[in-house]
Structure 1
Amino acid sequence: MTEHNGRTSEPILDPDLEIVDSHHHLFDRPTGRYMFEDYLADASAGHNIASSVYVETQAMARTYGPAQLRAIGEVEFANGVAAMSDSGGYGPCRVSAAIVGYADLTVGESVGEFLDLALSTAPDRFRGVRQILIDHPSEAPYRYITHRPPSGLIRRPGLVSGLRELGKRELTFDAAVLHHQLPELSRLADSVPETTMVLNHLGLAIAMETNAEESHAIFRCWRDSLHDLARRPNVVCKIGGLGLPFWGFGLESRDSKAGSDELAEIWRPYVETAVEAFGAHRCMMESNFPPDARSCGFVPLWNALKSVTEAFSASERTALFSRTARRVYRIPSVGQADVRGHRGRGSGSPPALIL
C-alpha cells in the first residue's frame, strides 16, 4: 500500500455499491481545515459515494445577532456547499445532501425559533440537530473535543422540551454520548417517542488507557446497553467513528495508518453487535471524516466496512450503506452516482476536531 494526500491506496472492494456517507464534517479553523474540495477528493478516490450528510462542528457560526441564532451561519455554509455540489460541476456526488446543524436544545421550547429559521434557510436539506452530550469523570476524552459540553447536559430539564420541538417539525436528533451514558439516552428516548434519535459512532465505548481485562468489561457493558437502547423504536444507529481514540485501539498513535484487513478484524465485533441489536434497516454507515483520518484513510475505511458485511444479504447491505440514511434524513435519489475518476485536491493532516 502507498500513501498519497493522506489516503491509503488499496483496490476498491465492491466498487459499484452505492454509499450514502451518513456523517462527515467541513470546516476551516486555525487547528485544521477540511473543506468541500477535500471531501470531494476523498469521496472520489474509488468508492461510489452518491450523497453525504453534513454534521455540525459549530463551524462558520455568525459573530453577531442573538446567541441562540448564531449557529444559522453553519446551516447557510453547508447549504451553499450543497448548492455547489448540486450544480453538477464538481462531479455527481451530492455533498451535504442533508444537513444536521447545531442548536442548544436545553433552552426548551424557545429553540423553535432557531429551528424555523434553519428550515427556512435550507428547506430542502435541513434535517436535524446535533448537540454533543458527552460527559466523563476524567479529562481523557476532552483532549479530543473542540467544543466541550457542560457537565450533566443530558439531564438538563429543558432538553426534553427542546427534543419535542424537533419532533413537532419531523427533525432528527443526532446524539453523541459515551457508552456509560447509553442508559440515560434510553430514558431520554422514552420521554420523546415522537422524535427520531440517531446514535452517533455506535455510542463510543470509551476504553482509553485501560488494560485488556478492563477493555473486555467495557465491551460487555457497551454491548448490553446498546441492545437495551435498540428496544426503543425511535432510535437508529450510525456505524462508524471507530477511528477515534476513545475506543482504545491505539491506531491513531502509530506511524503508519492501518489497512482495511486490520481494520476489519478490529472493528468486526462492534459492527456485528450493532447490526445484531438494531437490524440493518436501523443502521447506517458513516465515514466520520476527517476525524477518523487519524487512524486510517478514506479508502481502507470503506473497504473495511464492506469486508465486515460481505456475508450479509444484498438487502441488508443496501440498507446499511444507503437506504437507511436516505430514509432517516430524507435524501432523494438522483440516479446511480459514480464518482470514481473525479479528482479533487485531497485531504491534508487530520485536524484537532475528533467527533
Structure 2
Amino acid sequence: MLPIIDAHHHLWDLGANRHPWLQEDPPPAFRYGDTRPLRRNYLPADYRRDAEGQNVVGTVYMEAEHDPTDPLRETRWVHRIAASHGLPQAMAGAAFLDRSDAAAVIRAQAAMPLVRSLRHKPKGVARPQDYDPAHRIPGSLRCPAWRAGYRHLADSGLHFELQTPWWHLPDALELARDFPGTLVVLNHLGLPADRSAAGLAGWRDAMARLAEAPNIRVKLSGIGVPGQAWTPDSQAPVVLEAVRLFGAERCMVASNFPVDGLVAGFGTIMGGMRAILAALPEAAQRRILAGTATETYRISL
C-alpha cells in the first residue's frame, strides 16, 4: 500500500479552545448539512483511529475556524499537540487579510516552525448565476482591502489556502497572476457539489482556466455530496479530470477529517482515492498520494 501524506485535516479540543461554528447556536449552514455530530473533541488518537490501515505517514493540519480574535492561539496549540503526539508535520494557520493587523499576523505565523500556509475564506456569492466579475464584495478575492493583506504573503514565504466555489475561480486566476510569487493551494477541488451536466461543465471550464496559472496546486478532497454514497465511480469523474488538467505534480489527496466524516468513513474516502488513481502509472500515484504534499508543505519524515 503506497504511503499517504494527508494534506488537509483538522483537530480540536472544545474544552480548551473556542471554535464558534462548533459551539454556538444555531449551527451555521453547511454544505454537508447538520454539523452537530462534529461537536466533540477530535484529537490525534481519534484521527489515528479513523486513519488506521491507510498507511498515512504524515499530515498537514488545516486551521479550523478558531476564535478569530486570536488566530495565533490556535497555532501555538497545534505546535504543542505536534510535540506531544507526533502529528501534524506541518500546518496551515489563519490570518484575516482584510483586517488592519494582517501584516503583523502573517509575520507572526511565518515565524512558527510548522506553519507553511495561511487560510482566510473569501466571501462570495452562493450561486453561479449570481456571479459578477465586476463585483467588489467586501472580503472577497477582488476586495481591495483583502488583496492589500494578501500581498504580504509574498514576503512571508507562506502559501495561500484558497477555499471558494468554482464560479469564483476567475477571481482566483486573476489573483494568482497578479501575485505570481505566492503559491495558491485550492482546497476541495473548487467544491464541485452540483453534479448535473451543467454544473460539471461549469466546474470543468473554470478549473481548466485556473490550470493555466503555474502557481496553483489542488487538493483532491472535500467532494462528498449529501445524500449520495461516496464511491469511486461517483467521484472518479471530478478527481481524474482535475489530475488531467493540473497533472499529478500539482495534485494531492486529503481527508478533510473529521468534517468529511459526515458523508463517509476515512477508509471509504482514502481507499476510494486509491481505487480511482489505480489506473495511473505508479509514479503519478506516488506523487498524488504523498509527493506533492511533501514538496508543497516541506515535510521531512
Normalising to structure 1: TM-score of the pair? 0.72
Amino acid aligned to 2:124: D
Deviation at 1:166, TM superposition (A): 1.2
Pairing partner for 2:275 from 300, 303, 307: 307
Paired residue for 2:151?
Answer: 164
Paired residue for 1:239?
Answer: 220
> Counterparts in 2 of 1:131-280, with a 5 A limit?
131-137=120-126, 153-207=140-194, 215-243=196-224, 245=226, 250-251=227-228, 258=229, 263-280=231-248
Q: Is the 8 A contact 2:222 2:256 kept in 1?
A: yes
2:89 aligned counterpart, secondary structure? strand
Q: In the superposition, relative to structure 1, how do residues 244 and 330 fare at CA in structure 2: closer, same or farther (>3 Å)?
A: farther
Q: Relative contact order (C-alpha < 8 Å, sep 6+): which is higher?
A: 1
2:151 aligned counterpart, secondary structure? helix
Paired residue for 2:60?
Answer: 53
Paired residue for 1:19?
Answer: 4
Amino acid aligned to 2:223: L
Q: Is the 8 A contact 1:22 1:52 kept in 2?
A: yes
Amino acid aligned to 1:128: S
In 2, Cα distance between the equivalents of 1:41 and 1:270? 28
In 2, Cα distance between the equivalents of 1:24 and 1:127? 14
Amino acid aligned to 2:65: Q
Q: Is the 8 A contact 2:193 2:224 kept in 1?
A: no
Q: Is the 8 A contact 2:192 2:223 kept in 1?
A: no
1:107 aligned counterpart, secondary structure? coil
Q: Is the 8 A contact 1:243 1:291 kept in 2?
A: no
* Identity value in percent: 32
1:82 aligned counterpart, secondary structure? helix
Amino acid aligned to 2:91: I
In 1, Cα distance between the equivalents of 2:259 and 2:123? 16
Q: Is the 8 A contact 1:164 1:194 kept in 2?
A: no
In 1, Cα distance between the equivalents of 2:261 and 2:224? 7
Amino acid aligned to 1:267: Q
Q: Unaligned 5+ residue runs, structure 1?
A: 1-15, 87-94, 139-149, 252-257, 335-355
State the Cα RMSD in Å: 1.9
Pairing partner for 1:106 from 88, 91, 98: 98
In 1, Cα distance between the equivalents of 2:233 and 2:123? 27
In 2, Cα distance between the equivalents of 1:187 and 1:116? 24
Pairing partner for 2:251 from 283, 292, 299: 283
Q: Unaligned 5+ residue runs, structure 2?
A: 15-21, 24-35, 128-136
Q: Is the 8 A contact 1:163 1:195 kept in 2?
A: no
Q: In the superposition, relative to structure 1, how do residues 323 and 175 fare at CA in structure 2: closer, same or farther (>3 Å)?
A: same
Q: Is the 8 A contact 2:184 2:216 kept in 1?
A: yes
> Counterparts in 2 of 1:80-119, with a 5 A limit?
80-86=80-86, 95-107=87-99, 110-119=101-110
Q: 1:234-257 deviations in whole A, cap 9, x for unaligned?
A: 111000101254xxxx22xxxxxx
Q: Is the 8 A contact 2:110 2:158 kept in 1?
A: no
Amino acid aligned to 1:25: H
Paired residue for 2:134?
Answer: none
Q: Is the 8 A contact 1:205 1:218 kept in 2?
A: yes
Paired residue for 1:36?
Answer: 44
Q: 1:258-312 deviations in whole A, cap 9, x for unaligned?
A: 4xxx610000000011001100000000101111111110111111000001011
Q: 1:79-134 deviations in whole A, cap 9, x for unaligned?
A: 11111123xxxxxxxx22111011111237x42211222233x22x1111111125
Paired residue for 2:17?
Answer: none
Pairing partner for 1:129 from 98, 115, 118: 118
Aligned residues: 269
Paired residue for 1:347?
Answer: none
1:217 aligned counterpart, secondary structure? helix
2:120 aligned counterpart, secondary structure? strand
Q: Is the 8 A contact 1:79 1:99 kept in 2?
A: no
2:185 aligned counterpart, secondary structure? strand
2:177 aligned counterpart, secondary structure? helix
1:226 aligned counterpart, secondary structure? helix
1:193 aligned counterpart, secondary structure? coil
1:76 aligned counterpart, secondary structure? helix
1:58 aligned counterpart, secondary structure? coil
Q: Is the 8 A contact 1:287 1:301 kept in 2?
A: yes
